[in-house]
A = this chain, B = another copy of it.
Amino acid sequence: MRTRLSGVFPPIPTAFDDTTGHVAPAAVAVNVRRLMAMPLAGVLALGSNGEAPLLAEEESDRVVAAAREAVPADRVLLVGTGREATRATVEASRRAAGLGADAVLVRAPFFYGAQMSQAALLAHFTAVADASPVPVVLYNLPGVTGFSLTAGLVEQLAEHRNIVGLKETSSDLDRLGRFAAIRPDRFAVLSGSAPVLYPALCAGAVGGILAVANILPSACLAMLQDVRAGRHESALALQRRLVRIAQLVSTVHGVAGLKAALEMIGQPGGPVRPPLRPLAAEAREEIRAELTAFQASFEARDTDRALV
């Protein structure tokens, strides 16, 4: 599984109908098919960028089914199934597996964060991993949950035969590096933060789950190839160019920014679901300008390299 997880995964957004606000599975599939034309490792459905916390259970299932249809069998369909209750997480994981997920991505429960002791988290993730028909990837997103999984806990969890990796969504590379050192032969660490993709790959990540990979998959793939080929200066230069657009479609403007950028490249984007808010006009222009600037510089780079 570690090999299959090594690479770039776009965390796909969930398309909604402009008029009704209902989930639009056909538009989800269009996006995934376009992405699957690139040598990406797979996609993540129902992550934070998929507005998973805003969906009803039956809506979630329709997104998974649509994604599965569009992801070839030799690529990985990763599905976010974290819920607050252990039983709900188990159920969501079973349903996702039944609909064809290759692995599930499970965040820590955090509403009762003050009660989430090491013992509570160990029991939760173990119960999910015991019950899940497909492998589990842990999801550490301290910016949302308010606490981080510790290296000690992850070390214990990595011994479970059905826990195969971890996504770290932060720019703390001390932590990512410790997770990546746990069982480097078997346990796959993926970065969830494009602004540190290059140094994260240096620190031991095997790939990334990155909002910007929905928009600029080839740039993310190029960075991975640069590192694999030892072209570190090229990777650093690309990282520096990528930082701003990566932020605009993730931390700065959130899912609304990501969906707006999708529309700019001719893909189905559509509305976000409230309480998320539509993008302001200036934010849209900021994204458009940065995207244009990035694409010009990126194409120049590839032309340069082709000439070498």
Which of chain B's residues have a CB closer than 8 A to the CB of A303?
none
Question: Chain B: which residue is nearest A246 at the CB level?
Answer: B174
Question: Smallest distance from the beta carbon of A54 to chain B beta carbons, Å?
Answer: 4
| A175 part of interface (Cβ distance < 8 Å) | yes
Interface residues in A148-194 by Cβ distance below 8 A to B read 171-175, 177-178, 181, 193
B114 engages A273 (CB within 8 Å): no
Q: How far is the CA of A174 from the CA of B244 in the complex (A)?
A: 11
Task: Flag if A274 contacts B86 (CB, 8 Å).
Answer: yes
The residues of A with any CB-CB pair to B shorter than 8 Å are 21, 48, 53-56, 84-88, 109, 111-117, 119-121, 123-124, 127, 143-144, 146, 171-175, 177-178, 181, 193, 195-196, 198-200, 202-204, 230, 232, 236, 239-240, 243, 251, 254-256, 273-277
Which of B54, B121, B204 lies in contact with A84, CB distance below 8 A? B54
| B-chain residues with CB within 8 Å of residue A204 when the two chains form the complex | 236, 240
How many monomers of this protein are in the complex? 4
Residues of B within 8 A of A144 (CB): 111, 113
In the assembled complex, how far is the CB of residue A94 from the closest CB belonging to chain B, in whole angstroms? 15
- Distance of A243 Cα from B151 Cα, bound (Å): 13
- A275 and B116 within 8 A (CB): yes
A275 touches B85 (CB 8 A): yes
- Taking CB atoms, residues of chain B closer than 8 Å to A114 are 143, 251, 254
Which of B109, B121, B181, B243 contacts A177, CB < 8 Å?
B243
Given contacts A48-B111, A115-B254, A198-B202, contact A53 B84 (CB under 8 A): yes
Question: Contact between B177 and A195 (Cβ–Cβ < 8 Å)?
Answer: yes
Q: Quick check: B198 and A203 within 8 Å, CB to CB? A: yes
> Beyond A116-B275, A277-B120, is A196–B178 a contact (Cβ under 8 Å)?
no
* Alpha-carbon gap, A48 to B114, bound state (A): 12
- Complexed CA–CA distance, A84 and B199 (Å): 34
Q: How far is the CB of A1 from chain B (nearest CB, A)?
A: 22
Q: How many whole Å from A163's CB to the nearest CB in chain B? A: 16
Nearest residue, chain B, Cβ from A175: B171
Which residue of B87, B124, B203 is within 8 Å of A199 (Cβ)?
B203
Pull 18 A–B residue pairs with CB atoms less than 8 Å apart, ordered by A: A53-B84, A53-B111, A53-B112, A54-B84, A86-B275, A111-B144, A114-B143, A116-B275, A119-B277, A120-B276, A120-B277, A124-B274, A171-B174, A174-B196, A177-B195, A177-B199, A202-B236, A230-B230
Q: Please, which residue of chain B has its CB at the minimum distance from the CB of A174?
A: B171
Contacting residue for A240 out of B53, B181, B195, B277, CB 8 A? B181
A275, B21: Cβ atoms closer than 8 Å: no
